[in-house]
Structure 1
Amino acid sequence: MKVKVISVGKLKEKYLKDGLAEYSKRISRFAQLELIELADEKTPDKASSAENQAILKKEADRILPKIGERDFVVVLAIEGKQFPSEDFSKQLASATLQGYSTISFVIGGSLGLDPSVKSRANLLLSFGKLTLPHQLMKLVLVEQIYRAFMIQQGSPYHK
């Protein structure tokens, strides 16, 4: 199985890089993890709605080619479904049972995601209504992916 995390923006902070490295190592027992960082567009202060839409479209043009035709796609979106960790784990297991060999997660930039990316999703996922920096969200997501695998194994990690 392969897990891709496609995110807009480069990770800069050492503590986040260290956390990602740790969970990447842990996930390697269960799946091949690929972290794909895409350039984000500079957003002018007080950008118009049209400017914001153009930025989202440019970012979508970078994201969509990274998603395979047969990938199960989970897009992080505030309007998405929220799951307890156990149910999130079941969602990933179900995707595998349905024959998907790659699960791709998508994290947008500071403006979110273009509708074309959201429409490609098999699942819109929300981690709640809190606003988190997308770089921190990547670490939270990767930890939850690891937790999902541990739940599937019946590990006490989740307790």
Structure 2
Amino acid sequence: MDLGLWYLQTSKEPWLTEAQQVYTKKLQGFAKFELVALKSPNLARGQQAQKSEVESELILKKLSGKERLILFDEKAWKPKSSVELSQKLVSEFEGAASKFVFVIGGAFGFSDALKAKANLRISLSNLTMNHHVAQLMALEQLYRAFSIWKGLPYHNE
């Protein structure tokens, strides 16, 4: 299985880079995992709609069309627990596809065109969070989902 987590990068934080390395190594124990930073265009704060469109177009152009596209989107399905998230992801992983791309959007979300192309949209939380925190949370929850699926002693009920 090929698994990717794509995110729009505006800046780098040393603490996040270290955490990314830790979780990338952990996730590579389950699948061929790749963390992909996409350069977010510099647009003025007043250009939210345009920024969302440009970022979404960047993501659409990078897709091959052969992967299952899963968006982390604050206005999407909210799992009630990590176990529920794991079960949902396992149902995706056990399907016919062998390549999965998870995407964390920019500050202004995804375009309608990208949302329509997604196979699944997941909200990480009801809370609004910094882009870097969302990346770390997504990485940890992906690792937790695999750990639950494979019966590893990581998740506690």
TM-score using structure 1 length: 0.90
Structure 1 residues 11 and 102: alpha-carbon distance in aligned structure 2, compared to 1, 3 A threshold = farther
Return the match for 2:50 from 45, 51, 54.
54
Partner AA of 1:66 in structure 2 = K
Number of residue pairs the alignment of both structures matches? 155
The residue aligned with 2:121 is 124
Superposition deviation, residue 36 in structure 1: 1.2
The residue aligned with 2:143 is 146
3-state DSSP class of the match of 2:83? helix
The residue aligned with 1:24 is 24
Partner AA of 2:120 in structure 1 = L
Q: Distance in 1 between matches of 2:13 and 2:48?
A: 26
Superposition deviation, residue 95 in structure 1: 1.3
Q: Distance in 2 between matches of 1:6 and 1:64?
A: 12
1:37-64 residue CA offsets vs partner (Å, 9 max, x unmatched): 111122324x1xxx32222221112111
Q: Distance in 2 between matches of 1:131 and 1:99?
A: 34
Superposition deviation, residue 111 in structure 1: 1.3
Give the share of equivalent positions with the same residue, in percent: 30
Aligned-pair RMSD on alpha carbons? 1.4
Q: Distance in 2 between matches of 1:10 and 1:68?
A: 24
Structure 1 residues 33 and 129: alpha-carbon distance in aligned structure 2, compared to 1, 3 A threshold = same
The residue aligned with 2:63 is 67
Partner AA of 1:80 in structure 2 = A
Contact 1:10 / 1:37 at 8 angstroms: preserved in 2? no
Return the match for 2:108 from 96, 101, 111.
111
The residue aligned with 1:155 is 152
Runs of 5+ consecutive residues of structure 2 not aligned to the other structure: none
3-state DSSP class of the match of 2:22? helix
TM-score using structure 2 length: 0.92
The answer to which of 18-27 and 60-69 deviates more is: 60-69
Q: Distance in 2 between matches of 1:42 and 1:10?
A: 8
Runs of 5+ consecutive residues of structure 1 not aligned to the other structure: none
Q: Distance in 1 between matches of 2:106 and 2:75?
A: 16
Superposition deviation, residue 11 in structure 1: 5.0
Superposition deviation, residue 68 in structure 1: 3.0
Superposition deviation, residue 91 in structure 1: 1.8
